[in-house]
Structure 1
Amino acid sequence: MISRLLATSSFTATLASALPGLVHAPHSSALLARSSCSGNTASTRSQWCDYSIDTDYTTEPVDTGVTREYWLELTDVTVSPDGVSRSAMAVNGSIPGPTIFADWGDTVVVHVTNSLSTSLNGTSIHWHGIRQNYTNQNDGVASITQCPLVVGESTTYTWKATQYGSSWYHSHFSLQAWEGVFGGIIINGPSTANYDEDLGMLFLNDWDHQTVDELYSSAETSGPPTLANGLINGTNVYGEDGDSSQTGTRLAVSFTSGTSYRMRLVNAAVDTHWRFSIDNHTMTVMAADLVPIVPYETTVITIGMGQRYDIVVTADQADVADNFWMRAIPQSACSDNDSTENIKGIVYYGDSPGTPSTTGYDFKDACDDETANITPYISKTVSSAQWNDLETASVSRNSAGLFKWYLNSTTMLVDWAKPTLEMVTDNITEYESDDAIIELNEANQWVYMVVQTTLQVPHPIHLHGHDFFILAQGSGTYDSSTVTLETDNPPRRDTAMLPSQGYLVMAWETDNPGVWLMHCHIGWHTSEGFALQFIERKSEIASIVSTSTLEDICTKWEEFQGDYSIEQEDSGV
């Protein structure tokens, strides 16, 4: 059975008028589930067809026999999401791009066409958090699993929705993800909390009136630039409230009293750590990344770059006011933004939104994590490790005076035209030190990895191809003799914060053959080389790769790069 779909979330569908110059492709805003699926109602969200929230998808695979097929086209656009016009890149004409929907157990096929015209860009699309079990070639990382896709060409990614919940896709070529090449992924399935309506994706982005490509030279020479603004699902105002020169439009979300709403938060920023809240309302958090968790309540949630949280908010404040601020607050401890207090949307009761007069919750400005609150619903225990690797993050200037990040004393510098996956299939066994490769050749063994830094900068660490267990996370230098590792059902996710002047202890199993990237999800830092890669179960990789597809994309890229004299100016990923 093949279902051909192009859809967006309810939030995104309301934004067409807020993005001048963008043409939205036809879509349905419905959250689409298989007609044969039953049991998942507003009061029984823990049920899903023949399965439930108690089903462990890591040991009991789900297969619907359904294929969901999508077409995405990348184009250059002119946008004014906060009322100030600038160039950008879009997916199917919108920022954020269309949301991809699937059901738990579906196969997802996405055809991507590179129609970028003005900047001679290659591209690749990464499906953030999707495990890609035995589908490593579809991870979509330039220089790692493929060569960049050239302008005028298309490629197809195929992967299985083995997990369920909320995630996003984004370009993994240069800084394109923060030029607008991103969108949501919703995989329908059970949840640990009940709710009435699903409002879909809610993206939090930082934004500037210069492009990130224009700002990159400043990031390399002077450190992270201060950005001008932020967006909530692709829109916001620019300028002071009450000032006649203020431009743009705020996101407005209608609440019906007594109704509970699911929202799927994504931090899609290049370099902003957010605190998110809705004045007077309490959030029930039920998933972290694509991992269902034991629900907990909070009024303010902290979210690092690349992280996702599924929350439920009940509309129970109509007797207090008609309008409430929805706030995305940059944390000044690690994020520089000129609009620290005016990145806001409006939640309203009634027929139309007004200007709220509500007051935000108190919080401590910090770039920490929700780790202490996270208990995975499906309990797992971490066994003894077979490896014990210690990686240190640092930064310095190279001979050209440019900032470069080092991980394990290496700045990653991989070649667009020579992806690691192709080296593996060509049976190349010698790698350059700046490929930053660690080989993990034993199957189904535990890996422990400690990443630490002495610098006063926190980092969101993202691992491809796996969820990892957070065994420890704290300030100071990691000392195995004094730090107690949490191995009994520790938090697990695909992105977690390395604290400022601190350490992050991670663990995962070698259960997925492939070449997998691990990197800081601050866009500047990825481009400046804060990354390494794992070749996992090398002897099994060639058998799961289509070498003809790999070679075809690379041949076209080499010709394209040569014809247009395109120079690689960043890490390659």
Structure 2
Amino acid sequence: MRVFFVVAGVSLFTAATASPSFHNLLKSPVDLVRRQQACAGNTAADRQTWCENSINTDYHNVVPDTGVIREYWLDLKEATVSPDGLSRPAITFNGTIPGPTLFADWGDTMIVHVKNSLDRKGTSVHWHGLRMNYTNQEDGVASITQCATTPGDTYTYKFRLTQYGTTWYHSHFSLQAWDGAFGGIVINGPASANYEEDKGVFILADWFHQPPTSLFSQAQTRGPPRAPTGLVNGTNVFPGEQNGTARGSRFQTSFRTGGSYLLRLINVAMDTHWKFSIDNHTLTVVAMDLVPIKAYQTNVLSIGIAQRYDVIVTADKANIASDFWLRAVPQQSCSAISNGNDIRGIIHYGESTGTPNTKSYHFVDECVDEEARSLSPVVAKDVGSTPFLRTVQEVTLGRNARNLFRWYVNGSTMEVQWGDPTLNRVVSNDMSWNRPQNVIQLDETNQWAYVIIQSRLALPHPIHLHGHDFHVLAQGSGTVRDNTTLNLRNPPRRDTAMLPAGGHLVMAWETDNPGAWLMHCHIGWHTVQGLALQFVERFSEIKPLVNTTLIQDSCGRWNAFAAANNITVDDSGI
């Protein structure tokens, strides 16, 4: 067995069978990346091969047996940061925004020790999009799969990486994720098109100059505030000067003329739908979320909140310029950023260090997914036409008994407790769900569930499901009707998809993963205002999978801490 230790984003390799390749993929703060050599056969001329597997291997049923453990230590702590030149307190992993990128290979086991160094705040950490197959307790959702981790405690997560591609980790406790508690995850594997160099994660975030917790009162009473700016990999400029110099700095990276590069795009925003582009360049899209797709080309890519896309860019425009703008443009039809026209980075060719004067592509301002016909998974999977469950969930907005804005699903806003997680109820054989827990039980084994989410409000929602890649059977305006066409033949398959404004989203998945799985809108304000459901899947099979000692001990510590410090839940609890 090979074991890889990583502390604060710097990897320490021991007992490796091959010498690691050392190179910087990104500028600070996502820096000093050390990783093993690519799997045998995976070369710039053949990215479809991965050791004895390939891009056509059904990763849902086949996982490489690497015998490798990747071990990381993350310290969640408060820090003063100035990603755009303006200082503010934030919540960070290991003191940086983003936190360290976690690297592994398809089939590795990852162990992550998360220390809660916050003052008087609980936490949990979610590994976004990872199926956590038969390991529901590792999903990292306070109030659902664990109690909140008590300040001073370290909670250890251990899980097998059965998928590959690009994703991210973030706090799943109140508004911490959008206060800076996020970082990228890269799981190396095959790709559906060739490239020469992996440039790593490109994390796109909106950014407030105050902690979101201080803005929550406004969100609850008058509506969400407007973010002043956004960041590309934790940095950007902001208008004005500080001490006589421009504030902040732009993200910059270099391409070799003629080279081809893999960019791993992640939208970690609180409330912003991006359109991403690089002036004059074509993007070849090869993956959505953690699902490899048949490569297609576009100039501008629509990225919903919490979604990821892997794209390949070829540096073939030296005849036009040596420096190009990389753009993340907030879509004003659902997002509002004061400095929205200046969320940019720079692509340099070779040794050039100039400021670009290139022009943006034209596009329609809209908050929608890429066209379904473009998002064709390489590993084809059809959907059964006779679901055991077909449920319609209507999204509405209203005010609760305290006259605060809350989001409702079929008339119920989620309210769960940091000290009484769903898994704790399961191990106690307690099925007396309260309505605000918004539980739907899925007791059938390996059967199809269809879930229809729809809204009459003129606002789109990025819907994220834990524990599964769901199939997108339909998306469109209006409500679902009997004659609505459902795409059952290899439809797009992902973990986050857009519910269109005033429209519907039809999702389907097989009940093949026992656990308590959250589904929620990934707009940060909406998450904490209750726009969520949870699916308790195959109840009778969950308890044997749970470490009851761990959940009872950690819940005991949290509840004692909460009682001693008079801490209560003031939002949805997730």
Structure 2: runs of 5 or more not aligned: 11-21
54, 57, 60: which one pairs with 1:55? 57
Counterpart-to-counterpart distance in 2, 1:244 and 1:301: 37
Equivalent pair of 2:438/2:532 in contact (CA under 8 Å) = yes
Aligned-residue offset at 1:92:
1.3
Partner of 1:322: 322
Query: Which residue does the alignment assign to 2:530?
Result: 529
C-alpha distance in 2, partners of 1:211/1:355? 32
With 38-47 and 348-357 compared, the bigger mean Cα shift is at 348-357
Cα 1:150/1:86, change in 2 over 3 Å = same
Change (3 A) 1:388 1:361: same
CA RMSD of aligned residues (A): 1.7
- Of residues 357-366 and 395-404 in structure 1, the stretch that sits farther from structure 2 once superposed is 395-404
Counterpart mapping for 1:313-462 below 5 A: 313-372=313-372, 373-383=374-384, 384-462=386-464
User: Which residue identity lines up with residue 34 of structure 2 in the other structure?
Assistant: A
Name the residue aligned to 2:36.
32
Counterparts of 1:396 and 1:30 in 2: how far apart (Å)? Answer: 49
2:571 is the alignment partner of 1:558? no
Which residue among 12, 36, 43 is the counterpart of 1:41? 43
Deviations 1:167-223 (A, max 9, x none): 000000001001111111111111101100001111000001111111111111111
Deviation, 1:371, is: 3.8
State the alpha-carbon separation in 2 of the partners of residues 170 and 12 from structure 1: 21
**1:57-96 alignment runs, 5 A limit:** 57-96=59-98
What count of residue pairs does the alignment treat as equivalent? 559
CA distance in 1, matches of 2:179, 2:388: 41
Asked whether the 8 Å contact 2:25–2:198 carries over to 1, the reply is no
Q: In the alignment, residue 296 of structure 2 is paired with which amino acid?
A: Y
Looking at structure 2, the residues matched to 363 and 528 of structure 1 have their Cα atoms a distance apart, in angstroms, of 32
Could you tell me how far apart the structure 2 residues matched to 1:521 and 1:416 are? 19
Q: Is the 8 A contact 1:438 1:535 kept in 2?
A: yes
Q: Look up the match of 2:18.
A: none
Residue equivalent to 1:21: none
Whole-angstrom distance in 1 between the partners of 2:188 and 2:503: 36
CA contact (8 A) 2:205 2:231 kept: yes
Shift of 1:482: 1.9
Query: How much has 1:319 moved relative to structure 2?
Result: 1.5
| d(CA) in 2 for partners of 1:408, 1:370 | 28
Q: Secondary structure at the match of 1:365?
A: coil
Q: Distance in 2 between matches of 1:240 and 1:70?
A: 39
TM-score, normalised via structure 2 length? 0.95
The letter for the 2-side match of 1:39 is: G
Tell me the CA shift for residue 13 of structure 1: 4.5
Q: How many angstroms does 1:399 deviate by? A: 2.7
What amino acid is the match of 1:520? Answer: C
Matched residues in 1 for 2:346 and 2:557: separation?
47
Structure 2: which amino acid aligns with 1:555? G
AA aligned opposite 2:60: T
Q: Distance in 2 between matches of 1:304 and 1:177?
A: 16
State TM-score, norm by structure 1.
Answer: 0.95
- Separation in 1 of the partners of 2:352 and 2:564? 54
**Structure 2 counterpart of 1:197:** 197
Distance 2:321 2:565 in 1: 59
Deviation per residue, 1:478-530 (Å, 9 max, x gap): 11x22110000000000000000000000000000000000000000000000
Q: Distance in 2 between matches of 1:505 and 1:243?
A: 53
- What is residue 220 of structure 1 aligned with on the other side? 220
Aligned mate of 1:15, from 23, 28, 43? 28
Distance 1:243 1:254, change over 3 A: farther
1-side partners of 2:224 and 2:48: how far apart? Answer: 43
Q: Where do residues 295-310 of structure 1 align in structure 2 (5 Å cutoff)?
A: 295-310=295-310
SS of structure 2 residue aligned to 1:239:
strand
CA contact (8 A) 1:239 1:245 kept: no
Q: Cα distance, 1:447 vs. partner?
A: 0.3
The answer to whether the 8 A contact 1:252-1:353 is kept is no
Identical columns (%): 53
The CA distance in 1 between the partners of 2:48 and 2:412, in whole Å, is: 45
Q: Work out whether residues 371 and 491 of structure 1, in 8 Å CA contact, stay in contact via their aligned partners in 2.
A: no
The secondary structure found in structure 2 opposite 1:5 is strand
Take 2:93 and 2:126, find their aligned partners in 1: how far apart are those partners? 13
Change (3 A) 1:11 1:478: farther
Instruction: Give, in whole Å, the separation in 1 of the partners of 2:217 and 2:246.
Output: 29
Other-structure match for 1:20: none
Contact 2:25–2:199 at 8 Å: present in 1 too? no
With over 3 angstroms needed to count, the CA separation of the structure-2 counterparts of 1:10 and 1:176, relative to structure 1, is: farther
The alignment partner of 1:503 has SS state of strand
- By how many angstroms is 1:30 displaced? 3.0
Q: Secondary structure at the match of 1:162?
A: coil
Instruction: State whether structure 2 residue 473 is matched by structure 1 residue 471.
Output: yes
Do the aligned residues in 2 keep the contact of 1:33 with 1:188 (CA within 8 Å)? no
* Aligned residue type for 2:33: S
8 Å contact 2:301–2:370 — kept in the other structure?
A: yes
1:55-108 per-position Cα deviation (integer Å, ceiling 9, x unaligned): 101122322121111111111100100000000011112110111111111111
